[in-house]
């Protein structure tokens, strides 16, 4: 400002000197007036160019670099740069938030004050079978027509969620979906969706497990209590007393098998996966299973007529890496089930087969009663039984296949079950090549 004032004074002094030389006092006055007007017009033109630039009608740098207008231009440019940086930072933060909402396993929808979709992430689109682009600004009630959700949306009480059945958009079939609304802003809503199918299935399994354990323990306890009361109150001869004691021992053994099975499952779940440091011969493992199968067959054959397996053990069975006790338990359970459920006249095959990819399978095939397709997804659950009366007759605990499944998972193997009701079943335990060693060729 001082420099500009000095320049103005210098120009006026120069004009006054020229005016005095040209016309004396009147020349000084005319020169001064002309200088003021010229300075004023130059400032108007300079201000007009600056205003033109500020309106964005002129590209390039500011037309004024010095003086008041130059300082104004510099400050305006500084504010514009700060605003652009703030806008960029806000855009980055917004994108980070949207990326985080996309990454969450839950579905997230933003609804406006008229319950129309403003934004949704991929999981929400999958949960509700909607298109994030096509269904934008659509009323959520038109896209989700479940009566429970409609009532939940209209009730305006969103302190709890609502669980509905729906069909997922990725073709995964029916699912149970938890939906909760949260109000924010001026009538806007945050809608959260969560697939609770697995949670509800786990809860159902937990209830079944508690009920089944109670049943398995209560039944033999009731029998034992009855026999104890009989022995305490009645005078029995030696034969009757011996028969009652034998039945009591049988029920106590049944409870012991249930407890041992539960403890085995607990150990399997709590132990780390086995490594590949310990190798055991497959032939020895199969031989031990065959000996126990003969003992089981002899024991059960006293009460009913059963079939005995036909064994196929190749000379190059090789070795498998894992925990010997766990592997033996898995193989023995599969063979034991086949013996228990295949009546006389049927056929049981036990095989160890190498596969072209280096893996190997332990196969147990029987011609027993088979399993309906509806039971196959749950057949490896604890205490799940296709026929409870048949399981009691054969002395099963309902834990065998659950143990086999856990052993398979710990050793990287797969338990594959093929069965047709009335035509028998095939159980295959497929071990990966990394846990197998074939004998060296001589």
Q: Six-digit token pair at 431? A: 């071990």
Q: Tell me if 46 sits within 8 A of 70, measured CB to CB.
A: no
Decide: 15 and 35 in contact? Cβ < 8 Å.
Answer: yes
- Residue from 228, 227, 278 nearest 411 by CA: 278
CATH architecture of 105-195: 2-Layer Sandwich (3.30)
User: Do residues 320 and 361 touch, judged by C-beta distance below 8 A?
Assistant: no
Nearest to 340 by CA among 298, 287, 297, 388: 297
pLDDT level of residue 7 (50, 70, 90 thresholds)? low
Average pLDDT value for residue range 344-359: 89
The ranges assigned to domains in the chain are: 2-97, 105-195, 203-270, 273-442
Residue range 22-31: mean pLDDT, rounded: 62
Cα 190 to Cα 103: distance, rounded to the nearest angstrom: 16
Reply yes or no on whether the pLDDT at 393 is more than 60: no
Q: How far apart are CA 358 and CA 316, in angstroms?
A: 13
| E strands present in 263-422 | 279-281, 310-312, 319-321, 348-354, 360-366, 414-420
CATH number assigned to the domain with residue range 273-442, chosen from the 4 options 3.40.50.2000, 3.30.1360.170, 3.30.565.10, 1.10.3720.10? 3.30.565.10
Q: Give pLDDT tens digits for 50-99.
A: 666 666 656 666 665 556 666 676 777 778 778 888 888 888 887 887 78
The better pLDDT of the pair 190, 71 is held by 190
The pair of structure tokens assigned to 252 is 């106590």
Cα separation of 157 and 106, whole Å? Answer: 21
Please identify which residue in the block is written with the tokens 């630039």: 53
* 419-429: pLDDT as tens digits: 988 889 999 99
Q: What is the mean pLDDT of residues 381-385?
A: 76
Name the band, by pLDDT with cuts 50, 70 and 90, for residue 354.
very high
Backbone angles phi, psi at 190, to 5 degrees: -105, 125
Torsion sign across C-alpha atoms 362, 365, 366, 369: positive
Enter the pTM of the model. 0.55
Pairing relationship of beta strands 424-431 and 414-420 according to DSSP bridges: antiparallel
How far is Cα 170 from Cα 177, in angstroms, rounded to an integer? 14
Nearest to 313 by CA among 279, 367, 353: 353
Strands (E), 196-246: none
Kind of pairing between the strands at 360-366 and 319-321: unpaired
Instruction: Note the pLDDT tens digit of each residue in 220-270.
Output: 788 788 888 888 888 878 888 888 888 888 788 778 877 877 788 778 877
Question: In angstroms, rounded to a whole number, what is the distance separating the alpha carbons of residues 257 and 263?
Answer: 10
**Per-residue pLDDT tens for 196-224?**
888 888 787 777 777 777 777 777 788 78
Residues in the chain: 442
Task: Output the pLDDT for position 426.
Answer: 94
Q: How many CB atoms sit inside 10 A of residue 96's CB?
A: 10
CATH of domain 203-270: 1.10.287.130
């Amino acid at each position: 400002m001082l420099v500009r004032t000095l320049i103005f004074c210098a120009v006026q002094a120069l004009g006054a000197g020229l005016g005095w030389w040209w016309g004396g006092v009147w020349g000084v006055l005319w020169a001064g007036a002309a200088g003021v007007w010229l300075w004023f017009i130059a400032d108007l033109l300079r201000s007009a160019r600056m205003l033109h630039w500020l309106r964005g009608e002129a590209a390039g740098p500011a037309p004024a670099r010095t003086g008041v207008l130059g300082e104004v231009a510099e400050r305006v440019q500084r504010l514009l740069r700060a605003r652009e940086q703030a806008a960029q930072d806000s855009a980055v933060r917004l994108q980070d938030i949207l990326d985080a909402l996309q990454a969450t396993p839950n579905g997230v929808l933003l609804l406006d004050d008229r319950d129309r979709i403003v934004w949704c992430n991929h999981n929400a689109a999958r949960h509700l079978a909607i298109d994030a682009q096509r269904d934008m600004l659509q009323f959520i009630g038109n896209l989700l027509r479940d009566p429970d959700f409609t009532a939940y949306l209209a009730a305006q009480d969103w302190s709890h969620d609502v669980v509905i059945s729906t069909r997922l958009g990725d073709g995964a079939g029916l699912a149970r979906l938890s939906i909760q609304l949260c109000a924010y802003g001026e009538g806007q809503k945050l809608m959260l969706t969560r697939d609770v199918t697995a949670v509800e299935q786990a809860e159902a399994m937990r209830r079944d497990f508690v009920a089944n354990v109670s049943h398995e323990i209560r039944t033999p306890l009731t029998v034992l209590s009855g026999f104890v009361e009989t022995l305490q109150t009645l005078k029995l001869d030696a034969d009757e007393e011996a028969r009652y004691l034998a039945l009591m021992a049988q029920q106590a053994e049944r409870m012991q098998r249930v407890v041992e099975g539960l403890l085995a499952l607990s150990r399997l779940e709590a132990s780390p996966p086995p490594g590949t440091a310990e190798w055991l011969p497959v032939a020895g493992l199969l031989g031990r299973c065959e000996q126990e199968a003969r003992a089981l067959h002899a024991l059960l054959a006293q009460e009913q007529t059963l079939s005995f397996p036909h064994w196929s053990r190749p000379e190059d069975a090789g070795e498998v890496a894992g925990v010997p006790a766990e592997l033996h338990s898995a193989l023995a359970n599969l063979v034991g089930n086949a013996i228990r459920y295949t009546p006389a006249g049927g056929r049981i095959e036990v095989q160890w087969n190498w596969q072209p990819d280096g893996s190997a399978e332990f196969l147990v095939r029987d011609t027993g009663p088979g399993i309906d397709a509806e039971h196959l997804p749950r057949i490896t659950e604890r205490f799940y039984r296709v026929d409870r009366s048949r399981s009691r007759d054969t002395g099963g605990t309902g834990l065998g296949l659950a143990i086999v499944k856990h052993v398979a998972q710990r050793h990287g193997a797969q338990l594959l079950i093929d069965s047709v009701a009335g035509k028998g079943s095939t159980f295959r335990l497929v071990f990966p090549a990394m846990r197998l060693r074939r004998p060296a060729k001589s």
